Structures are given as C-alpha cells and as structure tokens.
Amino acid sequence: MAKLKTIFFGTPDLSVPYLDLLHQLTDVQLVVTQADRPRGRGMVITPCPVKQRALELNLPVLSPEKLKDGFDKIAAVPFDLGVAVAYGKIFRPNFLALPKLGILNVHFSLLPKLRGAAPVQQALIQGYTHTGISVFWIRPGMDDGPLFLQKETDILPQDNAQTLFEKLIPLGLDGLKECLEQIEKGHMVQTPQEGEPTVAPMLEKEDALLRPELLTAAELNNRARGLACGPKPKVPFTHNGKTEWLQVVRTELGNNPSNEPAGTVLFIERNRGILVKCKEGSIWLNEVHPAGKKPMAADAFANGRGLKAHDGAFRE
C-alpha cells in the first residue's frame, strides 16, 4: 500500500524528531518552516533546526516569511495529511482545506487545558501536577479542534520546563505514531474537546522578573521551574545601594516560618544556598548566575558579596 503523502510544518529543535518519524513512516512531500533568522553572537542568518534536518534528509523545504506567501507553492503539492509541531504560525481556512484529510497538530498539554504558545512552561507556572500531549485536528480557532488522541503524565515537584519537555516529546512521538497507524487503517478519530479551557500565553521578559515582595514562595518556585526554558528568571538583588537583577538557576521551597519582611535573607547554608523570605513562605535559592560570570552555588555567591542573615538584599 502506498504511503501517506504528507507535509510537515515545524521550526525548533523539539520538532526535529517528529520530522524524522514522519520521514520514516510517510512520504514527506515538503517541509515548511519559519524563515531563516539571525542567530548566535555574530547574528548570522541561519536556517532553523527543522530546515537543517530537512536538508540533511534531502527533502524539499519552504521557509516563507509569512505563511500566506507560500500558499501557491504549498497548494501545488498534492498531499493527504499535514502535521504541525511547534511551527509558530496560524493556519487560515484556505490552508486547512488543502490536504485531503486535514492537518494534525501535536500540542504539549491535555486540551482544552493550556491552549496557546507556552503550555509546558505555563503548566509549571500555574501549578499543574498533571499534564500530557494532545494530537488534534487544526481548526481556525486557537487549539480548539477535535482530538485524535491524548496521552498523560505526572508533573513531579522536581520537574522544570526542560525535564518536562524531555517527558512530553517522546510521549508526543508515541501519540503521533499511533495516529498515523490508525489513519493508514482508515480510522479517522475526531472527538470534541470537553471541559473548561485554560490558556498558556507566550512568556514575556516581564514574566521573568520574580519579586519576593509580590510573590508567595510557591508562586516564585513555580515560575523559576517554568522559566527553565524561555526568558531567564531573575530576582532583584540590592547591594551597596545598587539594585541589579540576579539570574536564578535552581530553587526549592523552604519551610521556615518568619516574621521578617519579604526579600530578607533568613539563612545562608553551605551546599544549600540562600533562604529568602517571600510574600508568603520562604524559598531557597540553590544556584544563581551573576551577570558576566559562570553559574555558581548561591551560598558561594552570598559569601562573595558578604551577605548575612537579616539583610534585605532581595528587595528593589
């Protein structure tokens, strides 16, 4: 039996294994990515990871600045199915009408929960303890199309965005493979999404500014976990009358009640870090990354700056 003719839509590193799977199981007619962008210190115009992989596989690639600019070329390619993974562009109705079967998207949440651009990071930031992947049929709305299947996983207290991606990417590959096998057998599943939707908006630089005076310890810890991929999380650090933003690499919740004002250093412990009072509760800063230096243990940073308990160092 002839393989499905497909077009793959994707851009970043996490999309590459999905292209490899599609190349293995289907007849990939075209790969569509976002346009080449300046990257690295030299800001050299460079193709995205999916485009680089497609060229290695000798697959035809299209990288329009705007998806509509590539419509005629995509429409000229006969294909049965589209597959999108972190492509980063919106599909208009005229695109959705091109393939015989439709366009599937692998989304890293259990829809309708966490619709939007940053479901992995927002699952952590919003305090979820359970998530998964959804393979669904794209419709004109935002991540609201009917489901083909879902797979679930737990979010552990020690998970951050990086470790959660490492769980979800293979889970999504398993899900997409199952979908392709079902489609080959003529089984087209379209189950309406059920439940109250939540959103996972794109992360902005302001989201990465973690102020102990305004956040509870749980909120600050969840944000630091979620921002392990994306804008780098930072806390205000005031020393010798000057305030800077100190990048936080790793945190953990404290369990030390205190009446000190938020932003105060409660304790410095060797091989553990700096315990800081928050709006509610306290948080350990385990590892930090000062500007212009390498990441270091937070207690070593504290010693280098002469920090002591009761210092109000983490206030603006």
Sign, CA torsion 119/125/128/129: positive
pLDDT (0 to 100) of residue 41:
64
d(CA 51, CA 36): 9
Contact 81, 101 (CB under 8 A): yes
Which CATH number goes with the domain that contains 287?
3.10.25.10
Total Cβ atoms within 10 A of residue 158: 8
HSE on the CB side for 143, CA within 13 Å? 25
With b for 16 or more beta-carbon neighbours within 10 A and e for fewer, the 29-63 pattern comes to: bbbbbbeeeeeeeeeeeebbbbbebbeeeebebbb
Q: How far is the CA of 133 from the CAs of 6, 169, 178, 275, in angstroms?
A: 21, 9, 13, 36
Q: Please tell me the total count of domains within the chain.
A: 2
Same domain, 84 and 230: no
Buried b (16+ CB within 10 A) or exposed e, 211-234: bbbebbbebbbbbbbbbbbbeebb
Per-residue pLDDT, 257: 84
| 146 and 216 inside one domain | no
- Residue 198 vs residues 115, 182, 241: alpha-carbon distances, Å: 6, 29, 42
Same domain, 102 and 213: no
Whether residue 171 is found in the same domain as residue 218: no
Distance in angstroms (rounded) separating the CA atoms of residues 139 and 92: 8
Q: Does 199 reside within a domain?
A: no
Answer whether residue 312 is part of any domain. Answer: no
Picking from 124, 152, 184, the residue at the C-terminal end of a domain is: 184
Tens of each residue's pLDDT in the chain, 316 residues: 689 999 999 999 999 999 999 999 999 999 999 988 776 666 678 899 999 999 999 999 999 999 999 999 999 999 999 999 999 889 999 999 999 999 999 999 999 999 999 999 999 999 999 999 999 999 999 999 999 999 999 999 999 999 999 999 999 999 999 999 999 999 999 999 999 999 999 999 999 999 999 999 999 999 999 999 989 999 999 988 899 999 999 999 998 889 999 999 999 999 999 999 999 999 999 999 999 999 999 999 999 999 999 999 999 8
| pLDDT of the residue at 40 | 65
166 and 47 in a common domain: yes
Containing domain of residue 92, as a range?
5-184
Burial of 258 (C-beta count, 10 Å sphere; 0-12/13-18/19+):
middle
Based on the fold, state whether residues 152 and 287 are members of the same structural domain: no
pLDDT for residue 203: 93
**pLDDT value of residue 44:** 75
| Token duo for residue 84 | 């999108």
Residue carrying the six token digits 């504290």: 302
> Rounded to whole angstroms, how far apart are CA atoms 140 and 152?
25
Residues 57 and 161 in one domain: yes
pTM score, two decimals?
A: 0.93
- Spatial neighbors of 126 by CB under 8 A, at least 6 apart, are 114, 198, 222
Does 313 reside within a domain?
no
- Local structure of 51: helix, strand or coil: helix
Q: Do 262 and 275 contact (CB within 8 A), yes or no?
A: no
Same domain, 135 and 234: no
Is 196 inside any structural domain? no
